[in-house]
Amino acid sequence: MAYAYGALCHSIFAIAVLAMIAAMYFGMSQSLGRVPQPWSHLANAGLLVQFPIVHSFLLTDLGRKVLIRLAPRAYAETLTTTTFAVIAAFQLAVLFVFWTPSGVIFWQAAGSALWLITAFYAATWLMLIKASYDAGPEVQSGALGWMSLAAKTRPIYPDMPVTGLFRIIRQPIYVSFALTLWAVPTWTPDQVFLATTLTIYCVIAPRLKERRFAARYGARFAVYRDTTPYMVPRGRFWRGPTQNKTRAVQNTKSET
């Protein structure tokens, strides 16, 4: 059961990531959707909004109850993170694979500009990978659930992330993902719509996440929130203030 869930989770996860990278690189102009206009606009809008709506819902207490009902009862609690990752990856794969291109291209990089933008695009994805690793790769990839089931242990969730990119800003995953949306070498009305909508989501959605962190970590998160910017790094973040911030968080942790 554990290895079947693991294979399913990581297969869909890989398909989703590759589909995102390729589709956005070409400005959503090469996806497989073929819905005729004007219905394609409605279909694309539906594909786009289903991800943030369902994704945010599944992170709520009610959403967690739904996740538990979607797995075999005996293993449901353990497999929660894996079930969540499967659904999220499937949503993204559907969005990027079945988008219906408009057929309009505003601008497409060429020559040295293409190489530079491609390098920047790759850098944003590396930043997203780094941020996900700093947050806990087992949780972010969905591996925690099935690996815990395979080991016959309860899932041990990582502590509140305050290291790596989380030393600089509180939401590096959302910032990195937003950057991938705007670092593409091909611009179409499709990409503009996608990038604008998902960037708004990336700015708003972490507020709900931080409410959960505040309830879970209390004073520790309050110290972290007060000393670390939300999404835009402060100047000289690598100097004394960051070191003092880290010590403050650690001291608060030891006290609590």
Q: Is residue 210 part of a domain?
A: no
Per-position pLDDT tens, the chain of length 256: 999 999 999 999 999 999 999 999 999 999 999 999 999 999 999 999 999 999 989 988 899 899 999 999 899 999 999 999 999 999 999 999 999 999 999 999 999 999 999 999 999 999 999 999 999 999 999 999 999 999 999 999 989 999 999 999 999 999 999 999 999 999 999 999 999 999 999 999 999 889 989 999 999 999 999 999 999 998 655 454 444 454 544 544 444 4
Position 252 in a domain: no
Q: What are phi and psi of 186, to 5 degrees?
A: -125, 125
Domain for residue 103, yes or no? yes
Range of the domain at 153: 2-204
Query: Does 139 fall in a domain?
Result: yes
Query: Does residue 55 fall inside a structural domain?
Result: yes
pLDDT reported for residue 143: 95
String of DSSP letters for the chain: -HHHHHHHHHHHHHHHHHHHHHHHHTTT-S----PPTTHHHHHHHHHHHHHHHHHHHHTSHHHHHHHHHTS-TTTTTTTHHHHHHHHHHHHHHHHHHS----S--SEE--HHHHHHHHHHHHHHHHHHHHHHHHH-HHHHHTHHHHHHHHHTS---PPPPP-SGGGGT-S-HHHHHHHHHHH--SEE-HHHHHHHHHHHHHHHHHHHHHHHHHHHHHTHHHHHHHHHS-SSSPPTTTTSHHHHHHHHHHHHHHHH-
Query: pTM of this prediction?
Result: 0.87
Q: Provide the domain count of the chain.
A: 1
Q: Does residue 220 form part of some domain?
A: no
In sequence order, the 6+-apart residues with CB closer than 8 A to the CB of 185 are 25, 108, 109, 113, 114, 117, 118, 121
Give the pLDDT score at 240. 43
Q: pLDDT tens for residues 5-48?
A: 999 999 999 999 999 999 999 999 999 999 999 999 999 999 99
Q: What is the mean pLDDT of the chain?
A: 91
- 150 located within any domain: yes
CA 115 to chain centre: 26
